[in-house]
């Protein structure tokens, strides 16, 4: 249902619609065209602010399981394309959290007021509040930004929500495309070369603590290249390469430390367990139970160490890579690869952050 509220001058000021998953907000483009027709004499369309649109969002839509959120229907930062999903925008701007659980039962709906804006020449991508928006390098029909969002309670009344626009996630995904792979976008007119995102590897040479050329730390250096697992950093370490990383004063070593066994609990139906054991249960009940069994799983382990003395590369190769244990202070001996998390400024190891300046892969 569409409700239009007119101002004293007779122009539409606030329009109210109900959010539906998967529906493009055609009201945005309609309102913008109507507003644009009244502003034909304006010379600078990019600075115009259009009318506002009030959107009521049912609580069962405000979850991370919303298919529009899961599929990343979100382009821009602060100002978004007209086809960006509003729930994804609210999560990106911090009005609501990225969670699979809906809001509490006492909440009837969310009410968001958005401002219709002119199309932008480009839309920026950011990772904010654990939601990554996508970039787009061309104008669309129109744009919008969120001006206000509130909770509407079932018993009456509302509570205004505050955005969180400064929280950027410290940990970044490290999967990066390679040249042979083709980026696919779901948006139309993808043939325009200006609209295609490209991965640019940053390479800046610095001198390490021994005055040798190393690469300035960038998350692209340690990224998993493409979809081929042999190109992943963890696979390179397993093959024998060793990653050395320097902070402003220290040098650290990250290497493969062998496989380790861990116990895991798996749940299998009781009937399947009996069949597997070769037994027949003639008195099996209709309700099938699950049987918990403990099994052993082999996973890769990694070692994180501080170099006691910072040595030149020729000396390191002469004594062995990875370095012998007497040259190291082992900080974490049996890391899961998931315990190593990269950010734009460094690495988190077992929940401790190390701010990095340079990195270098070495092997014998």
- Of the pLDDT bands very low, low, confident and very high (cuts 50, 70, 90), residue 361 is very high
Helix (H) or strand (E) holding 277: helix 270-277
C-alpha pair distances (Å), 275 with each of 271, 272, 279, 358:
6, 5, 6, 57
Read off the tokens for 201.
């590897």
- Of the pLDDT bands very low, low, confident and very high (cuts 50, 70, 90), residue 227 is confident
Once rounded to an integer, what is the mean pLDDT over residues 210-230? 89
Helix (H) or strand (E) holding 224: strand 224-225
Please name which of 215, 235, 212, 240 lies closest in space to residue 225, comparing C-alpha atoms. 235
Q: Are 243 and 253 in contact (CB under 8 A)?
A: yes
Record the pTM.
Answer: 0.48
pLDDT of 342 strictly over 60: yes
Quote the pLDDT of residue 272: 52
In the chain, what are the helix, strand and coil shares in percent, each to the nearest 5? Answer: 15, 35, 45
The rounded mean pLDDT for the chain is 80
* Better pLDDT: 286 or 77: 77
Q: Are 358 and 206 in contact (CB under 8 A)?
A: yes
* Better pLDDT: 177 or 258: 258
Ordered structural domains, the chain, with CATH: 3-160 (2.170.130.20), 205-261+299-362 (no CATH)
Quote the pLDDT of residue 285: 41
Read off the tokens for 208.
């390490």
Listed range (114-123, 133-142, 186-195) with the worst mean pLDDT: 186-195
- Of the pLDDT bands very low, low, confident and very high (cuts 50, 70, 90), residue 4 is very low
Return d(Cα 240, Cα 255) in angstroms, integer.
Answer: 8
Q: What is the pLDDT of residues 127-173, one digit of tens each?
A: 788 788 888 887 888 999 999 999 999 988 899 999 988 766 566 66
């Amino acid at each position: 249902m569409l409700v239009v509220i007119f101002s004293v001058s007779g122009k539409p000021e606030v329009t109210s619609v109900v959010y539906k998953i998967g529906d493009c907000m055609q009201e945005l483009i309609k309102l913008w065209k109507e507003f644009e027709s009244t502003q034909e004499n304006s010379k600078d369309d990019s600075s115009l602010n259009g009318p506002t649109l009030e959107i009521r969002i049912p609580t069962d839509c405000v979850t991370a399981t919303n298919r529009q959120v899961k599929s990343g229907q979100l382009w821009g930062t602060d100002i978004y394309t007209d086809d960006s999903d509003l729930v994804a925008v609210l999560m990106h701007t911090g009005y609501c959290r990225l969670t699979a659980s809906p809001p509490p039962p006492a909440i009837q709906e969310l009410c968001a007021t958005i401002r219709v804006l002119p199309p932008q020449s480009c839309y920026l991508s950011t990772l904010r509040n654990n939601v990554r928006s996508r970039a787009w390098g061309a104008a669309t029909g129109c744009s919008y930004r969120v001006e206000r969002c509130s909770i509407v309670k079932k018993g009456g009344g509302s509570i205004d929500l505050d955005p969180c626009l400064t929280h950027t996630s410290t940990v970044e995904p490290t999967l990066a495309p390679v040249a042979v792979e083709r980026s696919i976008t779901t948006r139309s007119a993808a043939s325009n070369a200006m609209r295609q995102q490209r991965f640019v590897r940053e390479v800046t040479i610095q001198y390490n603590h021994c005055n040798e050329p190393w690469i300035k730390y960038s998350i692209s250096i340690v990224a998993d290249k493409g979809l081929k697992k042999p190109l992943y950093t963890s696979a390179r370490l397993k093959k024998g390469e060793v990653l050395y990383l320097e902070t402003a004063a220290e040098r650290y070593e990250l290497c493969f430390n062998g496989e380790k066994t861990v116990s895991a609990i798996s749940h299998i139906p009781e009937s399947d367990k009996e069949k597997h054991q070769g037994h027949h249960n003639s008195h099996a009940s209709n309700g099938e139970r699950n049987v918990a069994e403990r099994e052993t799983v082999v996973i890769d382990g990694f070692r994180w160490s501080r170099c006691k003395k910072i040595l030149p590369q020729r000396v390191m190769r002469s004594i062995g890579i990875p370095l012998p244990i007497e040259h190291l202070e082992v900080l974490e001996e049996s890391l899961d690869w998931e315990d190593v998390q990269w950010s734009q400024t460094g690495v988190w190891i077992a929940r401790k952050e190390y701010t990095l300046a340079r990195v270098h892969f070495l092997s014998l």
